[in-house]
């Protein structure tokens, strides 16, 4: 089975934080993991923020970026998802970036797994989309 993972989950594979153990079990599962290729930019940005906050050193961040280049996630180009993501963003008032993950999940007939509680709860009021997202637990 395929599942779409967002950056909030993938980051937990590399940076110990709340939920990292659960996220690691997902990585070890037999599910095929998928994401829009936007994933890499979002993870790099999150790592950059951790450096700014003093949570990671520059050297640690560089090492993480190199490690992330080799993750076992099948990516789909954003350009293939842009139209659907834009429509989802207009309906949900969520960013096109978040909506890319939902668009891919709908395309693959699966769900997005996220650790982002605000993202998860925002989609719960949209009955057509609520089943397409799952909170990492």
Q: What is the pLDDT of residue 30?
A: 78
Question: Could you give the angle at which helices 82-92 and 96-108 cross, rounded to 10 degrees?
Answer: 120
The CATH code for residues 2-37+73-135 is: 3.40.50.1010
Provide the strand spans (E) within the chain: 2-5, 32-36, 74-76, 112-114, 133-135
Q: What is the pLDDT of residue 72?
A: 86
DSSP structural state of residue 40: H
Q: What angle do CA 13, 19, 21 make, to 5 degrees?
A: 60
- Tokens at 40, concatenated: 């890499």
- Tokens at 60, concatenated: 């640690």
pLDDT digits (tens, 9 = 90+) for 80-135: 999 999 999 999 999 999 999 999 999 999 999 999 999 999 999 887 888 889 99
Residue 2: band (very low, low, confident or very high) from pLDDT cuts 50, 70, 90: very high
Q: What is the pLDDT of residue 20?
A: 84
Answering whether pTM is above 0.85, one says yes
Q: What is the pLDDT of residue 39?
A: 97
Residues 6 or more apart in contact with residue 11 via CB below 8 angstroms: 17, 43, 46, 47
Domain ranges of the chain: 2-37+73-135
Q: Which of 105, 118, 114, 112 is nearest to 135 (CA)?
A: 114
- Contact 95/89 with Cβ under 8 angstroms? yes
pLDDT digits (tens, 9 = 90+) for 22-76: 888 877 787 899 999 999 999 999 999 999 999 999 999 999 999 998 888 999 9
Could you identify the residue written with the tokens 């939902």?
102
Concatenated DSSP letters for 46-59? HHHHHHHTTSS-HH
């Amino acid at each position: 089975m395929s599942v779409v993972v967002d950056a909030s989950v993938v980051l937990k594979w590399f940076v110990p934080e709340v939920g990292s153990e659960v996220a690691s079990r997902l990585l070890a599962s037999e599910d095929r993991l998928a994401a829009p290729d936007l994933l890499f930019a979002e993870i790099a940005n999150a790592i950059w923020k951790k450096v700014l906050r003093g949570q990671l050193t520059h050297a640690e961040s560089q090492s993480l970026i190199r490690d992330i280049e080799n993750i076992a996630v099948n990516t789909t180009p954003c350009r293939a998802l842009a139209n659907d993501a834009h429509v989802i963003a207009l309906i949900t008032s969520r960013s096109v970036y978040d909506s890319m993950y939902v668009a891919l999940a709908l395309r693959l007939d699966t769900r997005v797994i996220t650790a982002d509680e605000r993202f998860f709860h925002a989609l719960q009021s949209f009955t057509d989309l609520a089943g397409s997202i799952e909170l990492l637990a």
